[in-house]
Amino acid sequence: MFLSRLHLRNYRNFAEQVVEFPPQGAALVGDNGQGKTNLLEAIYYLEIFRSFRGAPDEQLVRFGEEVFRAEARLSDGLGGDRTVSAAFDRRARKKKVALNGAEPERLGDALGQVGAVIFSPSDVEIVAGGPGGRRRFLDIVLSLAQPGYLSAVQRYRQALFQRNTLLRKGSSRALVEVWDAGLVLAGSRVIAARQRWVAARADSFAAHYERVAGGQPGRLGYAPSAPEMAEAQGEAQVQEAFRGALARAADREQRRGMTLVGPHRDDLRFTTLSADGAVLELRTYGSGGQQRTGAIALRMVEAETIHEARGRQPLILLDDVFAELDPGRSQRIIDWIETEDGGQVILTSPKPTDFHVRGDTLPRWGIRDGVILQD
Ligand SMILES: Nc1ncnc2c1ncn2[C@@H]1O[C@H](COP(=O)(O)OP(=O)(O)OP(=O)(O)O)[C@@H](O)[C@H]1O
């Protein structure tokens, strides 16, 4: 399956655009502000039904318009086609998603149809920014890859919201505790899934980091909000540890008026080693380049995850990722793409690059003011 056709109407600065993509992908070259990121954002919108940049849907509607629509056609090259589409009405604040023209029962059922991974300069924020961005990363990847994860997150958020409302109002402990069973059940599912994913991908992350960084070590770990949860393995042990952590935090929670333990306070940890062997957090001590390398290695393990979940090569979207990397690192990313035997690649750049992707078979298109220029 590859993205064979994209149809955009009133998405950002695209008025009406139809693009036919070949199976190997395409390279888009255009000046700043012409719509390169917008195009990749639109493709990835059809994967997760929201902007990867975190923009609210209203902002995606072309200025002066009311509704945007995006549709992707995925083809297996043998005549088998599938479509996924999304539309958002700014005035009615309504989003509609369809698979092959039919609305799925739940939005979650339509997630991940494109099977894409996006590499963007803003990924550095996952490593360098606050823990919310890292939890968001985990929640998106696991929602795409694991059935049931998204609904566990949603149940957890509901229980957390109710519990926090009571804590904020200073309600009695007995009232707050009514929500504990639901919180622990859904929360442990989320924590155990995240821990399993990190454990399963840690070696691969380390290998990607080391390769891209030209030999420097890099590690990925999961940091739960309470120490006893770090020891727990599997959902049952996490539940027990979560209950224990809640009991220990009860007085503090009453004082602070909020839930202090659980997956909403967990974090991902990126580390490297100093010259004398000390463990350094990339977030606080990493250079810009090291933080970018951590983000790229993370996207690479995401690509492996999507590959396994979908049973096919992911569509790789590269948004001007080479701009801030040294040539060695850039080349090693290209080498990695080349080993992803034959998956589709769509890359953007403000200027023609010297990097040779897919044996230079990608057609090179221009883009100006929301119009794609194919020759
Ligand atoms: N809702 C919208 N309607 C119309 N135009 C929009 C909308 N949102 C953003 N734009 C326009 O899209 C352009 C930015 O596009 P985009 O972010 O894709 O740039 P780019 O080609 O990736 O540039 P760069 O190389 O600087 O990253 C801006 O000119 C902006 O005004």
State the chain's mean pLDDT as an integer: 94
Q: Which of 8, 9, 28, 34 to mutate to test the pocket of ligand 1 (most atoms within 8 A of CB)?
A: 34
| Pick from 250, 231, 249: nearest CA to 240 | 231
Whether 62 has a pLDDT exceeding 90, the answer reads: yes
Q: Judge whether 1-115+314-375 and 125-311 match in fold.
A: no
Q: Which of 53-57, 64-68, 75-79, 135-139 has the lowest mean pLDDT?
A: 75-79
Question: What are the b/e assignments for 280-318, b being 16+ CB within 10 Å?
Answer: eebbeebeebbbbbbbbbbbbbbbbbbbebbeebbbbbb
pLDDT given for residue 354 in this prediction:
62
Q: Is residue 35 within 6 Å of ligand 1 at its C-beta?
A: yes
Complex confidence, ipTM: 0.98
Tokens linked to 207:
């290998």
- Whether the CB-CB separation of 201 and 220 falls below 8 Å is answered with yes
Q: How far is the CA of 259 from the centre of ligand 1 (A)?
A: 39
Q: How far is the CA of 369 from the centre of ligand 1 (A)?
A: 8
Q: Is residue 57 within 6 Å of ligand 1 at its C-beta?
A: no
Who contacts 70 (Cβ-Cβ below 8 Å, separation ≥6)?
A: 6, 7, 8, 9, 11, 42, 45, 46, 85, 86, 87
* Rounded Cα distance, 120 and 333, in Å: 13
pLDDT given for residue 205 in this prediction:
98
Q: Is residue 350 within 6 Å of ligand 1 at its C-beta?
A: yes
pLDDT given for residue 244 in this prediction:
96
Tell which atom from ligand 1 comes closest to the C-alpha of 39. Answer: 18
Nearest CA to ligand 1 atom 27: 32
Per-residue pLDDT of 344-358, as tens digits, reads 999 999 987 766 777
The topology (CATH level 3) of 1-115+314-375 is Rossmann fold (3.40.50)
Per-residue pLDDT of 98-124, as tens digits, reads 999 999 998 888 999 999 999 999 999
Q: How far is the CA of 17 from the centre of ligand 1 (A)?
A: 15
pLDDT given for residue 352 in this prediction:
79
The topology (CATH level 3) of 125-311 is Glutathione S-transferase Yfyf (Class Pi); Chain A, domain 2 (1.20.1050)
Q: CA 314, 304, 297, 145: dihedral to nearest 10 degrees?
A: 90
pLDDT given for residue 356 in this prediction:
74
Q: Is 59 annotated as a binding residue?
A: no
Q: Is residue 33 within 6 Å of ligand 1 at its C-beta?
A: yes
Nearest CA to ligand 1 atom 9: 12
**Residue ranges of domains in the chain:** 1-115+314-375, 125-311
Q: Is residue 121 within 6 Å of ligand 1 at its C-beta?
A: no
Per-residue pLDDT of 187-217, as tens digits, reads 999 999 999 999 999 999 999 999 999 999 9
pLDDT given for residue 355 in this prediction:
66
